[in-house]
């Protein structure tokens, strides 16, 4: 099955490689032992990768699903367009709302799980 641009970015990171954009061109640095199919996957999603590089975001890997922190709505929209579940993306105001509360770890997990399940947004009320 074909990987989306975000999955390709994560796969590159996982093997110790990296991508960068120089003068509008995508450059890849991969270890010598990179899977032969990875270059083909990168080429197949090149337009999506270039689009993602136009935005500011962070992807966090942990034992659960990917978490993404986007600087703004445009970055969130690009992440969604390229394969990230909207419920896994946090915007600055959502992080601030979570930090402003005195959540227990259990409460925080419940809020974040609900956001992910419904693809919702966290608002301060």
Q: How far apart are CA 48 and CA 39, in angstroms?
A: 15
Residue 125: the pLDDT is 66
pLDDT of residue 1 exceeding 80 = no
Span 61-110, pLDDT tens digits: 877 778 899 999 999 999 999 999 998 999 999 988 888 888 888 887 88
Residues pairing with 124 in the sheet: none
What letter would DSSP give residue 119?
A: T
The domain segmentation of the chain, as residue ranges, is 1-54, 55-125
* Confidence at residue 123, expressed as pLDDT on a 0 to 100 scale: 79
CA 56/CA 65 separation, integer angstroms: 20
Q: What would the pLDDT profile of 13-58 be if each residue is shown by its tens digit?
A: 999 999 999 999 999 999 999 998 999 999 999 999 999 999 999 9
């Amino acid at each position: 099955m074909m990987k989306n641009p975000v999955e390709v970015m994560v796969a590159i990171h996982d093997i110790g490689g990296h991508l960068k954009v120089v003068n509008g061109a995508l450059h890849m640095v991969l270890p010598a032992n990179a899977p032969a199919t990875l270059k083909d996957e990168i080429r197949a999603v090149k337009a999506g990768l270039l689009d993602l590089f136009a935005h500011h975001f962070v992807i966090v890997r942990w034992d659960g699903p990917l978490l993404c922190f986007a600087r703004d709505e445009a970055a969130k929209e690009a992440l969604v367009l390229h394969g990230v579940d909207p419920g896994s993306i946090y915007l600055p105001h959502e992080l601030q709302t979570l930090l402003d509360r005195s959540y227990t770890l259990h409460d925080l997990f419940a809020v974040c799980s609900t956001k992910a399940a419904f693809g919702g947004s966290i608002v301060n009320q």
